[in-house]
Amino acid sequence: MAEEKTNQNNKDWADKIEINENDGSSFDKSADTKILNQEEIDSLLGYHNEETGDDDFHSMKTGVRAILNSSMVSYERLPMLEIVFDRLIRLMATSLRNFTQDNVEVSLESIESMRFGEYIDSLTLPTLLTVFKAEEWDNYGLISLDSALVYSIVDVLLGGRRGTAAMRIEGRPYTTIELNLVKDMIQLVLTDLSTSFDPITSVNFVYDRMETNPRFATISRLSNAVIVAKLRVDMEDRGGKIDLMIPYATLEPIRELLLQMFMGERFGRDAIWENHLMEQLWDTDVEIKAEMKEVEVKFGEISSWDKGSFLPLDMSPHDDITLLCGDVPLLTGSMGRKGQNIVIRINGKAEKNG
């Protein structure tokens, strides 16, 4: 009985589709257009098919992923940090030229803000990670060197011929000699980084440890915000990339200094105008009044005053009077006479009310 009912329903649907086709309508086609295919679903959610091999897609955030990432964390711009990194690349170029005895060019590719977990996931293995500590700030940072730069440095320091790119042997870990040679270069980078911060604040970056597994170089929570400066080191036809990663928590002690728009900014203060104002104040005329004493008088008594009336102040000739500029008390002194003039001898500074 159930089978006959199912067959009848299928027949009814078939009749409806046939009728719509005869009428020139597209019943089944309109139904298909309302269904998203897999590619459209991936685009909506911000993901893609790994088989496409589109590596650049990882650096793009679209769809739902873009909404989630933009709403969770907002990063503030640190203008002074850009100047620090600009000084760093100039210092590194000189240091690495002396270190390698080769023509070295250092360039700053980008400065990005992201989460620590997002940065760790973006690393291309194999990579060499160096953890360093900012002693004055009591926090850590990270330097990442790709394998191309590691083998280029080793090749240059051990006398490799120019004109041939450094070759990496797949599957072989870094040797102790290679790590020590790279460690010497890292020490130079940290010294230059400390020097780059000198105009802003004094800080000493020291080498802590070196890791090849990103899991062992975790210096912050995965959701914490970090700033990443991507540097490019070129030695003629050899070279590679250096990533300098500093968490925002590490920079928190000098955040106010890094928010300055230019070196030496004092948030509205200008030393030149301050000195000019101090010089001009000495030539400024101000009106000073002498207040002998304050007494309270009823309005009825004032209305009865006429020419020649006396106001008793209840004070002796030796009592101090106050000199005011506007409503601000400045000095106290004793009143006297010199020739035809009333004079005041200054005794000291007046006490300010409140």
Band of pLDDT at residue 299, cut at 50, 70 and 90: confident
pLDDT of residue 288: 85
Check whether 20 has a pLDDT greater than 60. Answer: no
pLDDT of residue 261: 64
What is the rounded radius of gyration, in angstroms, for the C-alpha atoms of the chain?
39
* DSSP-assigned letter for residue 199: T
Check whether 240 has a pLDDT greater than 60. Answer: yes
Question: ∠ at Cα 99 (95, 104), nearest 5°?
Answer: 65
List Cα–Cα distances, 90 to 96, 157, 167, 189, 193, in angstroms. Answer: 10, 21, 28, 11, 11
Domains of the chain: 28-72 (no CATH), 79-258 (3.40.1550.10), 286-349 (2.30.330.10)
What number is the average pLDDT over the span 233-251? 85
pLDDT of residue 53: 44
Q: Greater confidence, 45 or 138? A: 138
Around Cβ 282, how many Cβ atoms within 10 Å? 6
Is residue 86 a contact partner of residue 256, using CB atoms and an 8 Å limit?
Answer: no
- Over residues 48-66, the pLDDT tens digits come to 544 444 444 344 455 555 5
Q: Which runs of consecutive H residues, i.e. helices, occur in the chain? A: 2-22, 27-33, 38-45, 63-72, 79-100, 116-122, 147-157, 176-197, 248-251, 255-258, 271-281, 299-303
Q: d(Cα 304, Cα 310) in Å, to the nearest integer?
A: 12
- Over residues 156-168, the pLDDT tens digits come to 888 766 655 555 5
Which amino acid would we find at residue 261?
M
Q: Which of 29, 113, 18, 35 is nearest to 69 (CA)?
A: 113
Band of pLDDT at residue 13, cut at 50, 70 and 90: low
Band of pLDDT at residue 76, cut at 50, 70 and 90: low
Query: Can you tell me which residue has the tokens 């130079």?
Result: 188
Q: d(Cα 38, Cα 337) in Å, to the nearest integer?
A: 103
Query: Can you tell me which residue has the tokens 């006479």?
Result: 337
Is residue 42 a contact partner of residue 48, using CB atoms and an 8 Å limit?
Answer: yes
Q: Greater confidence, 305 or 57? A: 305
Which amino acid would we find at residue 348?
G
How large a percentage of the chain has pLDDT more than 70? 73
Q: Which helix (H) or strand (E) holds 330?
A: strand 328-338
Q: What is the mean pLDDT of the chain?
A: 76
- Over residues 179-220, the pLDDT tens digits come to 888 888 889 889 988 888 888 888 888 888 888 888 888 888
Residues in contact with 103: Cβ distance below 8 Å, sequence separation at least 6, in sequence order: 97, 235, 236
Q: d(Cα 180, Cα 200) in Å, to the nearest integer?
A: 32
Q: d(Cα 322, Cα 119) in Å, to the nearest integer?
A: 69
Q: Is 32 helix (H, G, I), strand (E, B) or coil?
A: helix
pLDDT of residue 14: 55
Q: Which of 95, 157, 151 is nearest to 128 (CA)?
A: 151
